[in-house]
Amino acid sequence: MGGVSSTIASKLAFFPPEPSYQVDLDEQTQKLKLLGVSQSEKGEVSILQTKRGHYIFSVFVRNKGATMTLLYSHGNAADIGQMFQFFVELSDRLRVNVMGYDYAGYGRSNGEPSEQNTYADIEAVYKCLKEIYEVKEEDIILYGQSIGSGPTLELATKLPQIRGVILQSAILSGLRVMYRIKYSLWLDIYKNIDKIPYVSCPVLVIHGTEDDIVDISHGKKLWELSKMKYEPLWVKGGNHCDLQVFPQFFTHLKKFIISVERQSDYSKNVEVEESIIDLDYTLDITNEIKCRPSIEEIEKSSRISTEQKEIIPIRPSTDKKLKPRISFDKREKPRKSMDYFGKSRSSTDQSERGRNSIDRFGDMMRSVAMCNIDCLKQTLAEED
C-alpha cells in the first residue's frame, strides 16, 4: 500500500520542466560540459549512477578559497541549467564550493521522479563528493530549497558529522502544504516534520513572510523542532521564489557559513569514548561510480562494534574524526504517526478524507509548478 501511495503522490508532486541545457564532451579536455548555459565553463559536470539504476547529472562549482561545500537540492520546476547562475553566485559570495544535481526525470537525468528516487539521487551525489572530490563529511553543508528539503533532510538524518543544514522555503510534508493534519498519513511524501528532530547539526531556516506556495508556518515549525537551532531568517515581504533579491539573504547565509566554519566541536559537552554513533542504519552508498578509496577500506575503517550498547547522538570534533558505517537500506526510526493512522483508518469517513487530501495535494503541487525558475532568473538579472 505504501508503494502505491508513494507512486500516486509522486505523479501529483513532480513537474519537471523541459531540459534547459545540453551536455557535450569537450574534445580538448575530454571532460563533460554544459551547453546553452551562461558561465558554464565554471562548472564540472559528472554523470552518476544511483542504486536504483538511474543516470543523473551533477555540476560542481569550485571556489579556490573554500573550506565548505554546499550540496544543493533544487525546487520543483527547475533543473541545474536554470539554477547554474545561482550556484555560481552562491560560490562567489559565500566563498564555498557548490554541488548541484538533477533528480531522476529532471534535466538530462533519465528515469521518473519519485520520492524514493530523489533519496537515491542525493545519496549518489554525496558519494561523488566524498570519493571523487574528496570532500570530508564534516565539511559539507546540505541545502534544500522547497521540495528539495525532502532529500536534504533524509540525508541529514543519516550523516551525524555534516557541518550544517540550510532549509529555504521548506515544507513540513507534501500534504501539509494545503491540508492541516495533526499526524502524518501513509499517503504523504517528504515527511520532514518527522525527520527534523533527528538532525544533529546546526539548522538555518529561511522563509518569506508572504510565501503563497508554502506558508511561513512550515519554516517556523521546522525551526522549532530543530535540535540545534541557528538564528532563522524570516524575509519580510519575501515570496517563494524571490528571497535572493533581498539584501539580508546573502548576508545571513554568510554569517551562517562563518559560524559553522568556526565551530570545531559539536560534542554538546558529552565525552566521546571511541566511535559510538548509531543512527539505526549504516551508510552503504555503493554504486558503480569509480572512487579513489575502496569500499573495503571504507567499511574496515568505519565498522562499529556490536558490543557497544550506549548510543550518544553527537557530532564529534574534527580532531577526533569518526567514520560511522551507516546504511541507506534501512528506513528512518518508526514514526508514531504511522501507528496512529493504522489505528484510526477503520472509518470510511477517514478514508474519504485521505482521498480528498490527494485531490487537494494535486492542486497544491500544480500551483507549485507555476512557480517557475524564470522568476529566479529574472530577479538575478535585476540584481545585476
Among 79, 139, 211, 215, which one carries the catalytic annotation?
211
Among 54, 74, 240, 252, which one carries the catalytic annotation?
240
Cα 122 vs. chain centroid, distance in angstroms? 7
Pairing, β 55-61 against β 43-49: antiparallel
Burial class (CB in 10 A: 0-12, 13-18, 19+), 123: buried
* 252 annotated active-site: no
Residue 215 in grid coordinates: 506558508
Contact 317, 267 (CB under 8 A): yes
Q: 157-195 as b/e, with b when 16 or more CB fall inside 10 Å?
A: bbbbbbbbbbbbbbbbbbbbbbbebeebbebbbbbbbbb
* 146 annotated active-site: yes
CA distance to 10, 17, 367, 370, 375, per residue, from 13 (Å)? 5, 13, 10, 12, 20
Burial class (CB in 10 A: 0-12, 13-18, 19+), 371: buried
Distance between CA 100 and CA 20 in Å, rounded? 15
Cross-strand bridge partners of residue 208: 235
Among 91, 146, 169, 357, which one carries the catalytic annotation?
146
* 207 annotated active-site: no
* Residues with catalytic roles: 146, 211, 240
